[in-house]
């Protein structure tokens, strides 16, 4: 199960944070800081997995943005690594060539996309097409 998802830039600024477990605000901030510190200086050659307390963080860097997912210790790392990629593909599709700016100014939309992709800490929809269609439908309502 996914515990939380973070999008952070290299300075550690949170671009998106979604928690699937109840946490205190102070705890969230601490955790965002720690995760950033863990991933930011890792050699790109190294594994994309880091032990984090009793869980592990699967992260992937896209340009200056780190996408980190905290999952259970027994979870299949590569699957989550690929689901991060799938999420980025969806974002890319939605924003037509996504860049950090898109995410900064449209963070609320990113949250909506994430809600279509992951629900209650599990991947709920793995079809890019289905998610894009759902988002398009929502856009039409505006």
In whole angstroms, the minimum distance from the beta carbon of 112 to another protein comes to 7
Token digits of residue 28: 């969230």
Distance separating the N- and C-terminal Cα atoms of the chain: 33
Binding mask 31-50 for another protein (x = CB under 8 A): -x----------xxxxxxxx
Closest CA to 122 of 21, 32, 27, 54: 21
> Which of residues 34, 37, 127, 136 is near another protein by CB under 8 A?
127
Tokens for 25, please give them: 């605000």
User: Distance (Å, rounded) from C-alpha 71 to C-alpha 111?
Assistant: 19
Shortest distance, position 68 Cβ to another protein, whole Å: 14
Q: How far is the CB of 41 from another protein (least distance, A)?
A: 11
Residues 102-121 interacting with another protein (rule: CB under 8 A): 102, 104-109, 111-112, 115, 119-120
CA-CA distance, 123 to 81, in Å (whole number)?
A: 13
Asked if residue 101 binds another protein (CB under 8 A), the reply is yes
């Amino acid at each position: 199960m996914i515990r939380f998802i973070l999008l952070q830039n290299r300075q550690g600024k949170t671009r998106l944070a979604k928690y699937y477990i109840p946490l205190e605000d102070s705890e969230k901030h601490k955790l965002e800081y720690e995760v950033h510190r863990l991933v930011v200086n890792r050699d790109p050659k190294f594994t994309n997995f880091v032990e984090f307390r009793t869980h592990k963080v699967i992260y992937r860097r896209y340009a200056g943005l780190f996408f980190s997912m905290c999952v259970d210790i027994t979870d299949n790392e590569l699957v989550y690594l690929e689901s991060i990629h799938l999420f980025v593909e969806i974002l890319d599709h939605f924003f037509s060539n996504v860049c950090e700016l898109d995410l900064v100014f449209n963070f609320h939309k990113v949250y909506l996309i994430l809600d279509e992709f992951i629900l209650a800490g599990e991947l709920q929809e793995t079809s890019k097409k289905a998610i894009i269609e759902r988002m398009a439908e929502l856009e039409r309502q505006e």
